[in-house]
Chains A and B, each alone.
Chain A
């Protein structure tokens, strides 16, 4: 394995809410190699977005804060870095794209101005040089005749084009790492495919690493090298993409895959949902947070929290946080 570009160690994030503090992320660790795409998959409240905001210390202050843990990027701990130093890394070495491009675009500034500003602030380019860079950036994300669009306000563009502009802005300074938080969730299905294609192509061309945050397992299959599945703020499974889909090794992953309605194959009479409701972070059960919904759960699942551990057998990168994983494997291999 290549040396890690990003190493997250025991990250925990706490949010103050009107009903008391909530731990949104609880002991998340992972490594990301250069040029690797890692997907963080989970449902609402799983901590996937809080994790990626925490990486860049973008949690909404003062409600959200990093409680503990390290975010080592090229050997420097972003969680402990002075704000001034962090500003040089944000946008320049690590960029972020959000679900709603209007979160990152100013509604009253032309897109040309916004893109140029990035180059002027970070690289100290002149207006003319920055403008040329902006034109190149827009062309690269497939905006036709970019020179003519520089004066447009974000509101004058379609949703798909706005997302292209926010990607152009994120990639303008050729970051080593792109964090993409549900980048296509707000888009129509056909546009989603186009934007994913674009991201994949740009990642290859520029040798970027990507952290892709999504609730959509289907989307992960075609884009990620490795997957972390999150539930109630913890990583419950970590695997190479192929292995995860071929043989899930956590009851929650298995449940997610089985509950997906398909568009191919014989029509199903009934879907197989995961029973119960997602957990309320303010009132987590003792033990494994998934236990109340889990078909494999036994006594100890309700009293102790299983750690994320390698599976028995030949060494692999595969990790699962489940006391009953052996039973799950046997059930899987049974006819």
Chain B
């Protein structure tokens, strides 16, 4: 069966006037299956949001492509785009800027149905009520405006709108980052519930590793536009392979004073390089604590490809020898 979403050698280069070209997404490939939840992590400027915008078709790729059910977005005509909008929806970070303050909740959540000319007004109203219920908002919310809600409830409104057309894939760009800690857990649980209930697939972007862990079945790590590791969630958190993934995980402060006193942290040296002038070879090498372990300064000279490390797991790092071809040396299934 073809993947719901297949991203193939996708690149996006931005060219500003008089500025150096910036390669925000650099030769990225991955697949997303139905019902799967892929968490995308990386520092700011790593290209996470650009990748999200390419996937939903808000940006056109410079090269490579995004295939949905095997069909490239680039080949879409008007009708195909229209139907794609029903299958893929987006949830944004800031509900304050992604909800129209002059529309009632009903108008906001109903709008996708109106645009797609789905249902009569009465049917649409009951659909909106159904959606509000699914995201945990009371029916009296219908006639209210976004400002009458707290941040967490506003994010629920944004999620209800994204669900209006019963999409297969939700692309969520930092959907809990603007929320308070006590509310964040509510919304993360909601994402879990909705996935189980509607069989949704997620592309879930966040710089918050704990949030990603709570909702993802698989995690991909980006550095300067490149995918450096992709693994099942439990494996990535238990044994991150790429040195950047290791540093990232070790940098997360733990709510445990005793652990914090004894825990060894990987502190990176130096600043993240300018994305407009990425270093040669491996983009992470100037900050990589492990680069001296690789002989012949290979990290500076040669860009590592994303290669299979074990079934379901891939890493782009010279530290790891490529997996032998199947049949030679059986690798234990870890999933």
Residues of A within 8 A of B (CB): 43-44, 158-161, 188-194, 196-197, 215-222, 241-242, 245, 255-257, 259-264, 267-268, 270-275, 277-278, 280
Instruction: Assess whether A273 is in contact with B207, with CB atoms less than 8 Å apart.
Output: no
* Most A CB within 10 A of own CB, among B248, B250, B258, B271: B271
User: What chain B residues lie within 8 Å of A264 (beta carbons)?
Assistant: 237, 254
Instruction: Assess whether B253 is in contact with A221, with CB atoms less than 8 Å apart.
Output: yes
Asked if B44 CB lies within 8 Å of chain A CBs, one says yes
Closest Cβ of chain B to A50, distance in Å, is 16
CA distance A197 to B251 in the complex (A): 11
CA distance A191 to B257 in the complex (A): 20
Asked if B256 CB lies within 8 Å of chain A CBs, one says yes
User: What chain A residues lie within 8 Å of B250 (beta carbons)?
Assistant: 193
Instruction: Assess whether A160 is in contact with B271, with CB atoms less than 8 Å apart.
Output: yes
Question: SS class of chain B's interface: helix, strand, loop or mixed?
Answer: helix
Query: Which residue of A161, A191, A256, A280 contacts B181 across the interface (Cβ within 8 Å)?
Result: A256
User: What chain A residues lie within 8 Å of B151 (beta carbons)?
Assistant: 44
CA distance A44 to B261 in the complex (A): 28
Closest Cβ of chain A to B312, distance in Å, is 16
Tell me the B236-261 residues at the A interface (CB within 8 Å).
Answer: 237, 247-261
CA distance A220 to B258 in the complex (A): 12
* Most A CB within 10 A of own CB, among B181, B189, B260, B267: B181
Instruction: Assess whether B234 is in contact with A190, with CB atoms less than 8 Å apart.
Output: no
Instruction: Assess whether B268 is in contact with A259, with CB atoms less than 8 Å apart.
Output: no
With A158-B271, A221-B255, A277-B153 already in contact, the answer to whether A270 and B182 are too (CB < 8 A) is no
Interface CB pairs A-B, < 8 A, 16: A188-B43, A189-B209, A193-B267, A194-B268, A215-B181, A216-B181, A218-B252, A218-B254, A222-B260, A242-B257, A255-B182, A260-B181, A261-B211, A267-B233, A273-B184, A278-B182
Instruction: Assess whether B189 is in contact with A278, with CB atoms less than 8 Å apart.
Output: no
Instruction: Assess whether A271 is in contact with B255, with CB atoms less than 8 Å apart.
Output: no
Instruction: Assess whether B188 is in contact with A221, with CB atoms less than 8 Å apart.
Output: no
User: What chain A residues lie within 8 Å of B166 (beta carbons)?
Assistant: none
Beyond contacts A219-B253, A261-B184, A261-B213: 8 other A-B pairs, Cβ-Cβ < 8 A, are: A158-B271, A160-B272, A193-B253, A215-B181, A222-B257, A241-B257, A260-B185, A277-B152
CA distance A271 to B189 in the complex (A): 6
Instruction: Assess whether A43 is in contact with B214, with CB atoms less than 8 Å apart.
Output: no
With A271-B189, A271-B214 already in contact, the answer to whether A217 and B248 are too (CB < 8 A) is no
Instruction: Assess whether B213 is in contact with A274, with CB atoms less than 8 Å apart.
Output: no
Query: Which residue of A161, A192, A268 contacts B214 across the interface (Cβ within 8 Å)?
Result: A268
User: What chain B residues lie within 8 Å of A260 (beta carbons)?
Assistant: 181, 185, 210, 255
CB-nearest residue of chain B to A255: B182
Instruction: Assess whether A263 is in contact with B249, with CB atoms less than 8 Å apart.
Output: yes
CA distance A212 to B251 in the complex (A): 19
Instruction: Assess whether B210 is in contact with A221, with CB atoms less than 8 Å apart.
Output: no
User: What chain B residues lie within 8 Å of A262 (beta carbons)?
Assistant: 210, 213, 254
Closest Cβ of chain A to B143, distance in Å, is 19
Instruction: Assess whether A189 is in contact with B186, with CB atoms less than 8 Å apart.
Output: no
User: What chain A residues lie within 8 Å of B251 (beta carbons)?
Assistant: 189-190, 192-193
Asked if B192 CB lies within 8 Å of chain A CBs, one says yes
CB-CB contacts of B222-235 with A at 8 A, as 1s and 0s?
00000000000110
Closest Cβ of chain B to A189, distance in Å, is 5
User: What chain B residues lie within 8 Å of A274 (beta carbons)?
Assistant: 182-183, 185-186
Instruction: Assess whether A261 is in contact with B210, with CB atoms less than 8 Å apart.
Output: yes
CA distance A294 to B34 in the complex (A): 39
User: What chain A residues lie within 8 Å of B297 (beta carbons)?
Assistant: none
Asked if B180 CB lies within 8 Å of chain A CBs, one says yes
Instruction: Assess whether B252 is in contact with A263, with CB atoms less than 8 Å apart.
Output: yes
User: What chain A residues lie within 8 Å of B210 (beta carbons)?
Assistant: 260-263
